[in-house]
Each structure stands twice: as structure tokens, then as C-alpha cells.
Amino acid sequence: MAFIPHTPEDVAEMLAAIGVTSVEQLFEEIPAALRAGTPTSVPEALNEMEVGRLMLERASVDGLPLSFLGAGAYEHHIPAAVWAIATRGEFYSAYTPYQAEASQGTLQTIYEFQTMIANLTGMAVANASLYDGASAFAEALLMAARIHRKSSSLRVLVPRAVHPYYRDAARAITRQQGFELEEIAYESASGRTALAALAAHEGHDIAAIAIQQPNFFGVLEDADAVSEWARSRGIPVVALVNPTALALLKPPGAWRGGADVVVGEGQPLGVPLCSGGPYFGFMATRLEHVRQMPGRIVGRTLDLAGQPGFTLTLQAREQHIRRGRATSNICTNQGLMVTAATVYLSLMGARGLERVATACHARTRELIAALTRIDGVRAAFTGPCFHECVLQLDRPVGPVLARLAERDILAGVDLTPHYPELGSAFLACATETKTSADIRALAFALRDALQTQHAA
């Protein structure tokens, strides 16, 4: 809300109505030793004008650098109507639709979101969303193990080309339940997951296999081959996808054999970068697996008068059923982000989303062509890519990226900490927000940075 409307008199009147004399009395049951006490580092209160000025000053520190960062969080154009609608009071302050009779608008919004995600992924059903893409990925691995009733192991095959932060999050969430995430190597030439590496797991008890499309490097995987290998052996397939790319690529539901669970980060669908959040994760699955899906699902039904309405039809989380029977204890509905995504998808439509994806692909190809014409820069992989690419330098990449940052250009993500075998490599991304002039500016600055470093 824009401001806190309660005056001291209002507070006193409310306290009197419930029979206490101070707000502190409401917390008497908390032992004094556990209370934080009076804050000592909180600055003096500011009025509205002063707060506005402070926020502008803080925002100006970030500046407006030309950014070619990607790696799971993408700068896309968001039509002004998206957040003009999402920040209306009836959406902005809506929380959770426990009372269907009072929450039809919220429920319908979620229902429309589920429908669009199901269509986009080629799956039968989608849930009401999760915290973010990384936790959704972990939830999908847990779900896949529940689906695979014939497996007595908790071994999951996860390609090394899956986002390193997603792999870290999945390990953190699943390891206390005994899961073992075994990495599958990628081909050094193409950047794709090495199908030959799957042979080492032939005949073993595998609970599930994951595949990211496109993978962390931006390279398009042979998803059909991986999915077919897994399905022919009865191994559930978890697909981690970029929703924008699905406007052009074959959806996981149409892969040979088809995916069992599809997840991803919904941030590209109308959510600004926001310094890292809040974002939201999406999840879709086959109809036969719906009762193993975490979270909740909104369905369309008829009331006693025969009128259509919306209600929560599946609520498999600890707030609704016994904790021990819940499919998850961390899932949620990121309602505001989902509302923005629903508005975004409605405005864009299938053709609009396809145009965005086509523009992203074209800009990435233009970026690769421009940068690889520079001496000392080469593309790391030969495979087809989407959204981003891995580029290698003939010298340490960290100082070069730092020099470009000094010129207000964020050229990409240093891959050295995560993939040291790639040498001096960075991940660069170009979405539809980048123009040819932007790419020329990066190429000029990179060439100059390399020449300056060489001269020094």
C-alpha cells in the first residue's frame, strides 16, 4: 500500500476495543530475553518527500549500464499495460484465494495462467506457481522420484550444462532426503549434453533424468534423444525450459516420449529484473501425475445455479493437509508475479511471443558475429543456440569484463568459477531489447579493452 493510514488515535481506539493499552502487550508471551529491544541503528523517520528523494538517490547509484547479462534472468520489453493492471489495488493487495466466493477474480487469473503455461509447455496440467525456477527444479526432481514407483534409488542424472545455481539449489533441497545428483558431461565441441555419457548408466536404477532446453550455455540440446533414451528405460524426464524459447522450440510435451514434469523461471514473462526478485517458478505435468504435483491447482466448475465459477481443486501442501502427507512444504503461489505474467501473455498472444523469441535469436546471432570478428575472441561451441552464447578470450576474462564495466557495459557473466575447463570464457546474452547500435557499442568497447590490455 502507498502509505500507512492509521493515526495514533486510530491505534489507541483499536487497542481499547480489544482490551489492551499498548501494542507491546500483544507480545507479552514472548520471553524478554528473546526480544530484539529498541532498534539502535534505524535512522530518524523521513517524510514522504524525503523518502522519495532518498530512493531516487539510491537508484541513481546503479546507473543505466548497457547490459548483456543473462544466465537465467533476462531483460525483456514489458508493455506498460502489464504493471498498470497488475498494480491496481484489487490485484496488488490480493493475497491467497482461500474463500472462493470472495476471490473469483484472483482464481480466474490463476486459472488462465495455468491454461497458458499448459499450452506453452505442451502438457496437460499446470499448477499455480512456485517460488522461482531453481526451487521449482528441485521440486520437480522430488516429484519425479515419487512418480517412479519402480525405482528403489534416489539417483538423479543432471547434465553439467544445467544452470549451476539450479544444481546447487536442487542439491540443497534434496540432499537431506537422500538424493544423489550425478552430473552428465557435455561435449566440448557442441556444448550439448553428451549422449555417449548416458551409456555408463545403462542398466542402473535411476530415479529421474533432467534436461535443460536451451541449456545454461544457450545451446539447444537434443531433447528428443535424451527423452527417448529415458522413456524407453522407464525413467521419468524433468524438463527445465525458457518460456520465451518455447514460442519457437518444440514443447517438452511433444518431445519423443515426452517429458513428465516441466519447470522453469517465469521472470521473462513480464517481470522486471528487480535486483534478483521476486520471481516465480512454473510447473506443468501429465494428467496421470497430477496428484504428485506440489502446490495447488485452480479449476473451473459450476455452482448450484449452473453458473461457471473457479475454485481450488487440488491443495497438496501442508497448509491444507497433514504435514507428513504434503508433497512439499516450501511451495507457494507468487500471485502478483503470476498476475503480471498472465497479463503479459494475454497481451502478447502466441504471435507476439513468437516475434519476441525470433528477435532474441536474431540479436544473439548478430552478437556472436560481431564479437567473433575481434582478434582474440572466439565462440566456444558450434551448436545452435538461443538467447545467449559462450565466448572465449585469449587472456584472463575477469579484468576485461571489469574494464568494460568501468565504461558502463556489462558484457556478460564470467564462467571461470563454474566451468574452469572452458578457460577464459564468459556468457553473453542479447534479447529483443538490444539494438544493432548496442551490439556495435559492445564490440567497439571490447576491441578497445583487448587492445589496451595488450599494449599495457
At 303-354, the pLDDT tens digits run 889 999 998 888 765 556 666 666 776 666 688 999 999 999 999 999 999 9
φ, ψ of residue 329 in degrees (nearest 5): -115, 10
Task: Please determine, for residue 288, whether its predicted confidence score (pLDDT) is greater than 50.
Answer: yes
Q: What is the CATH number of the domain that holds 168?
A: 3.40.640.10
Lowest mean pLDDT among 45-49, 209-213, 422-426: 45-49
Cβ within 8 Å of residue 73, ≥6 positions away: 265, 267, 273, 276, 279
Q: Which residue has the higher pLDDT, 45 or 37?
A: 45
φ, ψ of residue 333 in degrees (nearest 5): -120, 110
Q: How many domains does the chain have?
A: 2
Lowest mean pLDDT among 24-28, 87-91, 99-103, 236-240: 99-103
Residue ending a domain, choose from 345, 380, 413: 345
Mean pLDDT of the chain: 91
Q: Say whether both 369 and 236 belong to one domain.
A: no
Distance of alpha carbon 321 from alpha carbon 138, whole angstroms: 21
Task: Please determine, for residue 11, whether its predicted confidence score (pLDDT) is greater than 80.
Answer: yes
Distance of alpha carbon 251 from alpha carbon 262, whole angstroms: 10
Lowest mean pLDDT among 8-17, 159-168, 242-251, 288-297: 288-297
Average pLDDT over residues 238-255: 97
3-state secondary structure labels for all residues of the chain? CCCCCCCHHHHHHHHHHCCCCCHHHHHCCCCHHHCCCCCCCCCCCCCHHHHHHHHHHHHHHHCCCEECCCCCCCCCCCCHHHHHHHCCHHHHCCCCCCCHHHCHHHHHHHHHHHHHHHHHHCCCEECCCECCHHHHHHHHHHHHHHHCCCCCCCEEEEECCCCHHHHHHHHHHHHHHCCEEEEECECCCCCCECHHHHHHHCCCCCCEEEEEECCCCCECCCHHHHHHHHHCCCCCEEEEECCCHHHCCCCHHHCCCCCCEEEEECCCCCCCCHHHCCCCEEEEECHHHHHHCCCEEEEEEECCCCCEEEEEEEECECCCCCHHHCCECCCCCCHHHHHHHHHHHHHHHHHHHHHHHHHHHHHHHHHHHHHCCCCCEEECCCCCECCEEEEEECCCHHHHHHHHHHCCEECCEECCCCCHHHCCEEEEECCCCCCHHHHHHHHHHHHHHHHHHHHC
Q: Which residue has the higher pLDDT, 34 or 228?
A: 228
Residue 245, domain member (yes or no): yes
Residue 170, domain member (yes or no): yes
Residue ending a domain, choose from 345, 365, 383: 345
Q: Say whether both 323 and 380 belong to one domain.
A: no
Q: Quick one: pLDDT at residue 3? A: 59
Confidence grade of residue 406 (pLDDT, cut at 50, 70, 90): very high
Residue 394, domain member (yes or no): yes
Residue ending a domain, choose from 345, 360, 385: 345
Residue 211, Cβ density class (10 Å: 0-12 exposed, 13-18 middle, ≥19 buried): buried
Confidence grade of residue 231 (pLDDT, cut at 50, 70, 90): very high
Task: Please determine, for residue 272, whether its predicted confidence score (pLDDT) is greater than 50.
Answer: yes
Residue 240, domain member (yes or no): yes
Q: Say whether both 208 and 295 belong to one domain.
A: yes
Residue 447, domain member (yes or no): yes
Residue 328, domain member (yes or no): yes
Q: Say whether both 294 and 429 belong to one domain.
A: no
% of the chain at pLDDT higher than 90: 74
Confidence grade of residue 34 (pLDDT, cut at 50, 70, 90): confident
Residue 6, domain member (yes or no): no
Q: Say whether both 327 and 224 belong to one domain.
A: yes
Specify whether the CB–CB gap between 283 and 262 falls below 8 A: yes
Q: Say whether both 423 and 332 belong to one domain.
A: no
Fill in the amino acid letter for 47. N
φ, ψ of residue 268 in degrees (nearest 5): -60, -15
Average pLDDT over residues 356-376: 97
Nearest CA to 431 out of 28, 51, 74, 62 is that of 74
Q: Say whether both 220 and 144 belong to one domain.
A: yes
Distance of alpha carbon 450 from alpha carbon 393, whole angstroms: 9
Q: What is the CATH number of the domain that holds 382?
A: 3.90.1150.10
Q: Say whether both 307 and 268 belong to one domain.
A: yes
pTM of the model: 0.87
φ, ψ of residue 37 in degrees (nearest 5): 80, -175
Q: Say whether both 133 and 224 belong to one domain.
A: yes
Q: Say whether both 268 and 335 belong to one domain.
A: yes
Fill in the amino acid letter for 11. V
Nearest CA to 331 out of 170, 172, 61, 132 is that of 132
Confidence grade of residue 453 (pLDDT, cut at 50, 70, 90): low
Q: Quick one: pLDDT at residue 320? A: 61
Domain of 416? Answer: 66-76+351-455
Residue 5, domain member (yes or no): no
Q: Say whether both 303 and 160 belong to one domain.
A: yes
Q: Quick one: pLDDT at residue 1? A: 42
Q: Say whether both 219 and 359 belong to one domain.
A: no
